[in-house]
Amino acid sequence: MKSIVCANGIRLAYVEVGPLSGEPVVFLHGFTGTATSHFATEMALLAPTMHVYGLDLRGYGASAPPYRVFGADFYQRDAEDVISFITTLGIGPVHLVGFSDGSETAVMIAALAPELVRSVVAWGICGQIAPEMVTRVRKWLPISAWGPDKDQWKQEIIATQGPDQLEPLITGWIDAAEQISARGGDILHACAHHVIAPVLIVHGTKDIGNPIPVVESLCAKMHNCQFVLLDGVGHSVQDDAPDILHRHMRAFFHLP
């Protein structure tokens, strides 16, 4: 795994695979993940023809220490980090692929720096911290009461971030979500009209924290957004319906 100190002073670790002649694509993982834990299969899907960068965002995985902290501005902070990464390496404009928190960040980058973005593929996105999300994440506490239904997630966090990061990550994200919700909840809806790159949003009907009407509204605010709804699929589309996701990604990127 490589790392670089970006122009803004932040060190980011990343995987880099694929032909140098391929169009650059940057993968942005979700909450508690890393590039390889969330996107190993998707990066391999694109690597034969595209030049793939899989980032560990600030404070996650190999980009730590320092360890991850949140706060009400963390989406914008992550977007600015990735913009600095792209400009420091001189690889723009790039395609962006984002999941969950990484999908919010990807669209924010496309709004803040449209000249750096060729396209965006996103899933697990909402564009706001909806009340449904706040209700859901409050139920994560206390972590000491987690049962078998959260064993897999717990072990993934421990494996990718370390055992001492389990509680700070969960409580930090909940605090940030409540702060964002308290100021109105918006992340992207007010800036989505600045996104001019083509966008593909893939959304599962069982993504209970991200209401379908809100996601459709976000898509409608962008200039060129395609919305695909997958029945019976949850938040982690790459886990629940990888074949369908990959088919849509191939079509969007015009791959065989």
Q: What is the pLDDT of residues 53-102, one digit of tens each?
A: 999 999 999 999 999 999 999 999 999 999 999 999 999 999 999 999 99
The confidence score (pLDDT) of residue 132 equals 85
pLDDT in tens, 35-65: 999 999 999 999 999 999 999 999 999 999 9
The per-residue pLDDT for 36 is: 98
Angle at 205 between CA 202 and CA 210, to 5 degrees: 75
- What per-residue confidence (pLDDT) applies to 194? 98
Structure tokens of 146?
């987690």
Q: What is the pLDDT of residue 188?
A: 98
Confidence class of residue 131 from pLDDT cuts 50, 70 and 90? Answer: confident
Exposure letters 87-119 (e unless 16+ CB within 10 A, then b) = eebebbbbbbbbbbbbbbbbbbbbbbbeebbbb
Residues 4-24 have a mean pLDDT of: 97
State the fold for domain 2-128+187-252: Rossmann fold (3.40.50)
- Per-residue pLDDT band for 211 (boundaries 50, 70, 90) equals very high
Query: pTM surpassing 0.95?
Result: yes
Q: Is 137 helix (H, G, I), strand (E, B) or coil?
A: helix
Mean pLDDT of the chain: 97
Residue 232 contacts residue 205 (beta carbons within 8 Å): yes
Is the omega angle on the peptide bond into residue 66 within 30 degrees of 0, that is, cis?
yes
pLDDT band at 123 (very low <50, low <70, confident <90, very high): very high
Residue 256: pLDDT band (50, 70, 90) is confident
The per-residue pLDDT for 130 is 86
The predicted model gives 221-234 an average pLDDT of 98
